Amino acid sequence: MKKIISDTVAADTIPLKLVVYLGLLAAVVLLLAQAWNIASPVLQEAEIKAQAETASLSLLSIQGGYARNPADRYSPEGSMCTLIFSLPPSVRYISFGVDPDQECNGNLTDSEWVPENNTLIYQYKNGVKKRMLLEGKPIHFIKGIQNSEGIWIPAESQDSSQKASVLESTGVVIEAPVSGEFRFEMVTLDGIKYTMARF
């Protein structure tokens, strides 16, 4: 028994084994961190695409529904959908029916917005754009505002000199942070159906 307790040959190898095991553990952690850095953007893109696809399906679902006449204050509400987004900070904007940054310079006010009906576009802060086409009949997006009576009306309909062709070329943009609930309602104006943003 005394011989086993006094045997110190194995004790000399413990620190060396500990260093080797810690080195292996550090290598595994570094490989996992590198794999996460590679996989994270892919997973993030998949989540953004899934939210955009869900939004497009919701918008398509109301297109055949009732369109409210904003000129008639007693008209019942049109078909509505609520889009829920929680996009990461890397997304600069998401737009409906318009390309607000055709130069991809990050400035949404330096040039005319290019109408793209039936299109949902999201752009990253690095300038990369992704488009999603909405199938079916033309979908005209328009921004809404509340009038003095609290009724939502198309923003451009305030000016009676506006022509329907000008209204057809409008769109809606949600700038970063793209997070929260955003409601859209079907309205009709001069015989044309619009998908109006109520936010």
Q: What are the helix (H) ranges across 1-158?
A: 2-5, 14-62
What pLDDT was estimated at residue 43? 81
- Render pLDDT for 11-60 as a digit per residue (tens, 0 to 9): 566 677 788 888 888 888 888 888 777 777 778 888 999 999 999 999 99
Please state the rounded mean pLDDT for residues 131-140.
Answer: 89
Q: Mean of the pLDDT values across residues 82-99?
A: 94
Tens-place pLDDT, residues 2-24: 555 555 565 566 677 788 888 88
Residue 16 CB contacts under 8 Å (≥ 6 apart), including other chains: none
pLDDT of the residue at 168: 46
Q: In angstroms, what CA-CA distances link 183 with 47, 165, 199? A: 21, 24, 7
Q: Cα(70)–Cα(65) distance, rounded to whole angstroms?
A: 16
CA atoms within 13 A on the CB side of 71: 8
Residues 6+ apart with CB under 8 A from 175: 92, 93, 108
